[in-house]
Chain A
Amino acid sequence: METRSVVVEYPSIRGVLRLYDQGVSFKVDQGDFLAVLGGSGWGKSTLVNVVLGLEKPFHGSLSFREHDVTRESFVKRCVLVTTSAAFQRPTALPQMTVSQNLHLALSLAGVPRRERDDRIKEALAFFGLDKIERSYPDGLSAGQRRRIDLARALAVKPELLVIDEPTGDLDGSATNLLIPLLRGLNRNQGTTIFMTTALPRQASQAKHQVHLGPPAYLTPENRMIGD
């Protein structure tokens, strides 16, 4: 995956909010573990959305396997590179058990029914969720819900795993558990990981880092104002 001079702009009360002022460019090779480091409001989640095709950049391009996918949807990008995402906000469906959530994800990903049970067992065991597979997400802790999302993303066996602030709402012990799990996933299964974080200590666990700068505001007169 490669981005070139990606810039995103949003209209705001102060004018136009411009993220990645000079444009963000990076390349992620197969088997890489890239961490994007930046402060709150600097566009980490937006960059995740841009990578997934959920938001389109104002300027710049993004390519998967040297195909320009800047204007392509998430589903079309998945044809080129099997991609899974775990967002900042837990997404597990509350009316389904942990296991049923994973089943649904695999059915949407087109995984044959006979393979699903094995994959789910493997993913739940990897994240230590095998004992709560029949529980409902709303009765679980924030850390467990976060791990459900990661297990769901892992069960698809993606080539690219995109994770937005994986330890955002976790306590210290859960954080200490999660980052080694991600490193193990990258090392043992060769999954390419694209992760955002606000913590330099976490970013240092990745093979490569990209540092985002603060956003800028463009006034109607096109005058730059520092944040």
Chain B
Amino acid sequence: MGIVALETSLGTIGPVSFNSRLWLSLLVVPPTCALAAVSTTTRRTREELALFAYGGSSWQIFLRYFFRGAICSLVAFSPVILLEFFATAPIRELVLSALALILAGGLFYSLPSLRRIRSSSFVEHYKS
């Protein structure tokens, strides 16, 4: 829905050198992934506490969520990417936009966790 809305409103004024649908999707991915990450805070905090208690480093936890966000973004946008592939879009542009999607999805899905883990109040959860 976000892509369709953005495409309708911004498609005509998007960068000429890039395919508008792929690059517009980059505007949708960060807020969607960040919202998905924030909306599951309670469950994820429990998971982060467990992983931390199990000896996981903050970077291991960050990477776990980064890959989760990256895979979700790739799967969600695979129809758009495939559509552009069959529409004979330049491969270089397709790969670049797919990489940008993965990076944005992973980052915005994992950053709330990294911020939480690094906050001084995080370990207070271990105390009852």
Q: A residues near B, CB below 8 A? A: 45-46, 48-49, 54-55, 73-75, 78, 84-89, 91-94, 101, 104-105, 108-109, 149, 152, 156, 164, 168-169
Contact = CB atoms under 8 A, between A and B. Distances in A.
Given A49-B123, A93-B46, A108-B60, A85 B128 contact: no
Contacts of B127: 45-46, 87-89, 164
A93 B125 contact: no
Interface string B66-100: 00000000000000000000000000000000000
A54 B55 contact: no
Most buried by B among A46, A86, A108, A164: A108
B54 A105 contact: yes
Contact of A54 (B46, B51, B54, B126): B126
Most buried by A among B54, B57, B125, B128: B54
Contacts, number: 62
Q: Looking at chain B, what size class is its interface with the partner chain?
A: 10 to 19
A83 to B, nearest CB: 8
B126 A108 contact: no
B36 interface: no
B128 A108 contact: no
B126 to A, nearest CB: 4
B27 interface: no
Closest 9 CB pairs of A and B: A105-B54, A45-B127, A87-B126, A54-B123, A91-B53, A75-B57, A91-B50, A88-B128, A108-B56
A191 to B, nearest CB: 16
Contacts of A74: 52, 55, 57
Contacts of A45: 126-127
Contacts of A108: 51, 54-56, 60
B50 A92 contact: yes
